[in-house]
Structure 1
């Protein structure tokens, strides 16, 4: 089978920086059995081609990326026909996928992977902030042969728009994150928390740090590692200083996967503070190595709660702090959640993702 996969980026030629690990895991698995061409809208500023994880990456770059990507897919189709066009994320990628598929008269799959279907105007986030976005997303969802999404909350958002979707999580590569059983914590030692996400408005690290300040005010001995690229020009660092968290919070910036796993394994809890998530992948990676997640009720956190995660209302740092305290005070609870999360992620790893998508491709194309 020949597959066109449309992505905004996350497929840097380095294979380590500016990549999305769950996407690379999918490329590896699909390219083992199929001819896979990845069309990246803006991985690099200028056009280019390279091989990555067994797939041929076509970087479009420059201006007018949507029509130029459709043309690039058509050009490659003339060399040997595609069987299906698949976009990871809707938005511009979804428009490209359904447009190219319609012209080529082949099926399309659109995967909702982020905030395509929400609107948070106070932080200028989401694909439905104006009428153009709402029309675009409605058009893409209805034009796609199949729509997929990683978690039940996103499936429900899609259903509210009158479209049915298949649940297919973009998941963790257990070859890169070998499973480790949850480890009992010595409660005499400092509690270690970890947060893995780019510093930005949707991840809401201000709520995260305020929860951390509440924990400190309660006299708790806690330390937090924060891993992720800073897109807010030091704003979150300044907030940490203002809240008196020097020595309690360590900012690591971007960390490649080979360095991230040891950091996560040292933690007792993954803490997520996002206002919206379709996943998040960081939660799945932590679950693979026996670290449970406490976080806001979004994506997998809401979906897995209360057995395999601990969820609190979005934006409520007092509730987030209280949930962290409960999990750290009750080691049996923390281990129970960790074991349940590990079982979930091992049952729905990157192999599962690839198998589910290939099953969809086969149903759409009758090609093995």
Structure 2
């Protein structure tokens, strides 16, 4: 098959910086058996082309991006026809993918990978905050031939809108994240890790308040906080205000190679997001034998209580209590780690590619049958 994938970003020339690892893993696997063209909207400001993960990357760049992206897909289709168009993320990506597919009479798939279905007005986040976004999503998603999402909470959100979807978890590349068996803690000082860009959606302020409660109760811990700071140091100020300077290390962005040893050394991944379609980091932690405590979003909600512990969004006290519970109960921590690893290994990056390929083949068969009916 010849496939067109539409992405907002995540496919930098370097393959290490400004990338979305799970997308690279999927692209690499699809490119082993198919001709893959990735149309990326804003990877670089200027239009350009390069090769990455054995796929052809078409960077659209700034200025009339949607129209030029559709034109680029059409031009490549005229060189040699595509079989299918897929959007990773809805919003502009899905609008481009579905419009191009309709224009070229091809099947289309939209994968919900972010906040397309939510409206968090207080922090200005989500695709459903404004009526134009709600109307656009309703039209585009109903015009797509198939919709997929990584976790059941997102599937449930789609069902609430009257839309059927296929669950396709975006799994971990085990070649780059080899599995490690869950391990007993080596120190009385618990090593916690949090991996996410510092922003309002990830709500690290709630995490720090939870950790402050633990510190006040004499719990011995350190936290490695990994991620780009988009709040201009606001979280560091909060950490100082809460007296957490000796507990929290702000490590900034880390490549996958730099992140892996930090994750392997951790006892517990802690997340505080207000919304997640995944997150991938939970799966990476699970693969290397590290369990997760976090807010009830995405996979954390999906896996709780057997393979993770979930607490209400924004509740620092409940988050502190769940972290304390796991740190005080080593058999529980190891049980959560083992169950999480079992799930993550069953649905790795190879499984993701196979599931998408099955979906593609079915849609292509349906399209051929419709042409001859």
With the shorter chain as reference, the TM-score category is over 0.9
Whether 1:358 aligns to 2:357 is yes
Deviation at 1:256, TM superposition (A): 0.2
Secondary structure of the residue that 1:6 maps to in structure 2? strand
Aligned-partner Cα distance in 2 for 1:314–1:64: 38
Partner of 2:318: 319
Whether 1:107 aligns to 2:107 is yes
Partner of 2:124: 124
Aligned-partner Cα distance in 1 for 2:351–2:256: 21
Deviation at 1:170, TM superposition (A): 1.1
Whether 1:172 aligns to 2:172 is yes
Partner of 2:348: 349
Secondary structure of the residue that 1:67 maps to in structure 2? helix
Partner of 2:145: 145
Pairs within 5 Å for 1:1-368: 1-186=1-186, 188-366=187-365
Deviation at 1:199, TM superposition (A): 0.3
Unaligned stretches of 5+ residues in structure 1: none
Deviation at 1:342, TM superposition (A): 0.2
Deviation at 1:141, TM superposition (A): 1.0
Deviation at 1:189, TM superposition (A): 2.3
Deviation at 1:327, TM superposition (A): 0.1
Q: Give the paired residue count.
A: 366
Aligned-partner Cα distance in 1 for 2:274–2:10: 22
Aligned-partner Cα distance in 2 for 1:205–1:88: 26
1:317-361 CA-to-partner distances (Å, cap 9, x unmatched) read 110000000000000000000000000000000001000000000
Aligned-partner Cα distance in 2 for 1:156–1:249: 36
Secondary structure of the residue that 2:363 maps to in structure 1? helix
Aligned-partner Cα distance in 1 for 2:172–2:235: 28
Aligned-partner Cα distance in 1 for 2:52–2:212: 43
Aligned-partner Cα distance in 1 for 2:156–2:16: 34
Partner of 2:370: none
Aligned-partner Cα distance in 2 for 1:312–1:264: 22
1:142-193 CA-to-partner distances (Å, cap 9, x unmatched) read 010000000000000000110100000111111111000000114x521010
Aligned-partner Cα distance in 2 for 1:61–1:5: 16
Q: Report the TM-score, using the length of structure 2 for normalisation.
A: 0.97
Aligned-partner Cα distance in 1 for 2:328–2:188: 12
Aligned-partner Cα distance in 1 for 2:253–2:2: 34
Aligned-partner Cα distance in 2 for 1:235–1:341: 33
Deviation at 1:247, TM superposition (A): 1.6
Secondary structure of the residue that 2:33 maps to in structure 1? coil
Q: Report the TM-score, using the length of structure 1 for normalisation.
A: 0.99
Deviation at 1:111, TM superposition (A): 0.2
1:266-297 CA-to-partner distances (Å, cap 9, x unmatched) read 11000010000000000000000000000000
Partner of 2:371: none
Secondary structure of the residue that 2:243 maps to in structure 1? coil
